[in-house]
Amino acid sequence: MQAHSKIAKTGLALTLVAALGVAAAPMTAAAQSSNGPFGCSASGNKQEGGAIIGAILGGLLGSKLTDNEPAVGAVIGAGAGAAAGGAIGCKVQKNDAANRGTYVSNGYRLANYVQPANFQRGGGRFIATSTVNLRAGPTTSASKAGQLRRGETFTAMAYAKRGEWVLVGQNGVGVGYVSSAYVRPTGYSNASW
């Protein structure tokens, strides 16, 4: 009877560790898209702290769930926990960075390098129809503030210059303008696109 109990616990442990791995996969992808699990594109140390805390908790949980192979469970749990914790920490760092160096203009929070404009209400999810530059102001003569790749989705916060430019938002902060000729609302289909 005891052998059956150990087999059941091991099966449960492997199922939980696999579930942790599946749950951590999107977070791991997010962390890797920001230059690896310890290379967040935003400055700070919350990613490393999250990875350490996640590894400790994941290792403890993994070792407790695998009676026959606690070391294997600890290693797998630590890996999954570190990936999840690191991804969460990176997201917090990015949110913190977005909130630094901003100002409010016409009711919109803008990054300190983004020029104010007369905004018209608008918004929703948009997609870039081609690779296009983000500009610091609603004109092609404004300095380059970044880039959207073809197929990349973003939040449109508002329109400027009679709808010719879209204010691109990231975490509630306007990070640049893109010409409306190169973007469209998501879900919109037209044979000419």
Report the domain count for the chain: 2
Same domain, 24 and 106: no
Same domain, 79 and 33: yes
Handedness of CA 166, 171, 176, 178 (dihedral sign): negative
Average pLDDT of 105-128?
92
Same domain, 134 and 95: no
Residue that finishes a domain, picked among 45, 66, 99: 99
Average pLDDT of 46-73?
84
Q: Which one has a higher pLDDT value, 63 or 41?
A: 63
Specify whether the CB–CB gap between 150 and 129 falls below 8 A: yes
Q: Which one has a higher pLDDT value, 162 or 94?
A: 162
CATH number of the domain residue 109 falls in = 2.30.30.40
Same domain, 150 and 166: yes
Residue 179 domain-assigned (yes or no): yes
For the chain, give the percent of residues with pLDDT over 90: 37
Domain of residue 168: give its range: 102-185
Rounded distance between C-alpha atoms, residue 39 and residue 188, angstroms: 36
* Residue 69: DSSP 8-state: -
Angle ∠(60,64,65) on CA atoms, nearest 5: 120
Give the best-scoring range by mean pLDDT among 42-46, 54-58, 80-84, 171-175: 171-175
Condensed to tens digits (0 to 9), the pLDDT of residues 159-182 reads: 999 999 999 999 899 999 999 999
| Lowest-pLDDT range of 62-76, 85-99, 107-121 | 85-99
Same domain, 91 and 111: no
Residue that finishes a domain, picked among 44, 73, 99: 99
What pLDDT score does 8 carry?
A: 46
Residue that finishes a domain, picked among 38, 71, 99: 99
Condensed to tens digits (0 to 9), the pLDDT of residues 139-151 reads: 999 999 999 999 9
Task: Give the CA distances from residue 89 to residues 35, 53, 96, 125, in Å, rounded to whole numbers and listed in that order.
Answer: 14, 10, 11, 25
pTM for this one? Answer: 0.49
Phi, psi of 133 (to 5 degrees): -80, 145
Same domain, 20 and 75: yes
